[in-house]
Amino acid sequence: MTSPSLETRDLTIRFGGHVAVNAVSCAYQAGTLTAIVGPNGAGKTTYFNLISGQLKPSAGSVLLDGRDISALPASARCHAGLGRAFQLTSLFPGLTVMENVRLALQSRKRLGLDLWHVWSDHKDLVARADAVLESVALAGRRDTVAALLPHGDQRKLEVGLLMALDPVVYMFDEPTAGMSVDEVPVILDLIRMLKKDRSKTILLVEHKMDVVRELADRIIVLHNGTLMADGEPEAVIASPVVQQAYLGMAAVEEAA
Ligand SMILES: Nc1ncnc2c1ncn2[C@@H]1O[C@H](COP(=O)(O)OP(=O)(O)OP(=O)(O)O)[C@@H](O)[C@H]1O
């Protein structure tokens, strides 16, 4: 087996006396989508926050391509290749769709204040930004101000910004939450498209078991901050302990 692109080792965080994530060790391979499931309060978002650097662990480490990134702040982890979708908070609402993507491409190349490079690379950036907009089906909206986009298109733009950063690892925390019935398939199509790139590792926190079942190559289950199941979707979903105690019969019936 090839070395994992992302790994957590004994990752732990305590809030006062409460252990929200408890010694979670897990390795994630390129070319796989892992769904992280578990009941409310299981520690899924906290685990994500520890990986992306929004929270500092009480113990344990995070490795990206074998490098220990535990001491890096969130912004440096992003530059190192961890791409996390934050629902709409990463958009510049007053800029156009094209300008948003162009800025994301520039930030990846760390061109921010180097005016000569900004100028000489401008045409290349615009061409690449157009390619990103094409892949997220927003080419027709390139000159629209982001704030004026319908909600579903804003979410597509957010995925486009993430793609512009070309991360090694994509992290989605309930990407379809709050979306209308029409918008959900659009985001799921984008995740399916990202999955085709076998060099990428995708982590997905998702409550909807039908979505998990369709997209996941592997499911891990967190409960009370502890990793309590890990394996292929069918086996994890079918395991009695997960069905009865942790997913709830409603979720299991929905997935059937
Ligand atoms: N900053 C914090 N301070 C104190 N407790 C916290 C903090 N963040 C999370 N927790 C607690 O840690 C536990 C795990 O929360 P978390 O949000 O990670 O669960 P989750 O699995 O993502 O839940 P949900 O599915 O409802 O989003 C909860 O008991 C929560 O109250």
Token pair for 164: 């512009």
126 and 147 in a single domain? The answer is yes
Query: Element (H or E) spanning 188, and its range?
Result: helix 183-195
Residue nearest to atom 12 of ligand 1 (CA): 20
pLDDT of residue 185: 87
- Is residue 188 in some structural domain? no
Q: Is residue 241 part of a domain?
A: yes
Q: Are 163 and 194 in contact (CB under 8 A)?
A: yes
State which residues of the chain have pLDDT below 70. 1, 87-88, 109-121, 241, 244-256
- Indicate whether 162 and 172 sit together in one domain: no
Residue 185 included in any domain: no
220-242 tens-digit pLDDT: 999 999 999 999 999 998 887 67
Minimal-distance CA residue to ligand 1 atom 7: 15
Q: How far apart are CA 204 and CA 224, in angstroms?
A: 18
Read off the pLDDT of residues 188-208 as tens digits, 9 standing for 90 and up: 999 999 999 999 999 999 988
Distance CA 70, CA 13 (A): 13
User: Number of structural domains, the chain?
Assistant: 2
Residue 224 belongs to a domain: yes
Residue 58 located in a structural domain: yes
Amino acid code (one letter) for 110: R
- Does one domain contain both 172 and 234? yes
Cα 51 to Cα 57: distance, rounded to the nearest angstrom: 9
Residue 69 belongs to domain spanning: 1-81+168-180+196-256
85 CB contacts (<8 Å, ≥6 apart)? 158, 159, 162, 170, 171, 172, 173, 175
Does 203 fall in a domain? yes
Considering 144, 166, 188, which residue would you say is the last residue of a domain? 166
Nearest to 187 by CA among 88, 91, 113: 88
Q: Both 120 and 69 in a single domain?
A: no
The residue to which tokens 């906290």 are assigned: 46
Beta strands in 157-233 (DSSP E): 169-173, 201-205, 218-223, 226-231
Q: What is the pLDDT of residue 123?
A: 80
The per-residue pLDDT of the chain, averaged, comes to 88
Asked whether residue 256 falls in the same domain as residue 172, the answer is yes
CATH number for the domain harbouring residue 222:
3.40.50.300
CA 56 to centroid of ligand 1, rounded, Å: 14
Tell whether 189 is covered by a domain.
Answer: no
Atom number in ligand 1 closest to CA 47: 18
52 with 175, same domain? yes
154 backbone dihedrals φ, ψ, rounded to 5°: -65, -40
- Give pTM, 2 decimals: 0.88
ipTM confidence:
0.96
For residue 173, report the distance from its CA to the centre of ligand 1, in Å.
13
Q: Are residues 12 and 58 in the same domain?
A: yes
Contact predicate 161/104, CB 8 Å: yes
Q: Ligand 1 atom 1: the closest Cα is on which residue?
A: 15
38 and 136 co-located in one domain:
no
Strand extents, DSSP E, the chain: 6-15, 18-28, 33-37, 59-64, 67-68, 82-85, 169-173, 201-205, 218-223, 226-231
List all residues whose CB is within 6 A of at least one atom of ligand 1: 15, 20, 38, 40-46
Note whether 71 and 97 are same-domain residues. no
**Is the same domain home to 126 and 19?**
no
Structure-token pair, residue 191 = 């995740």
pLDDT score at 252: 47
- How large is the greatest C-alpha to C-alpha distance in the chain, in angstroms? 61
Q: What is the pLDDT of residue 76?
A: 92
- Paired with 220 in beta bridges are 36, 230
Answer yes or no: do 136 and 210 share one domain.
no
Task: Name 18's Cβ contacts closer than 8 Å, sequence gap at least 6.
Answer: none
DSSP codes joined into one string, 70-117: TTS-HHHHHHHTEEEE-TTTTS-TTSBHHHHHHHHHHHHHT-TT-HHH
Q: Are residues 95 and 160 in the same domain?
A: yes
Q: Is residue 135 part of a domain?
A: yes
Report the alpha-carbon distance of residue 238 to residue 151 in Å, rounded. 36
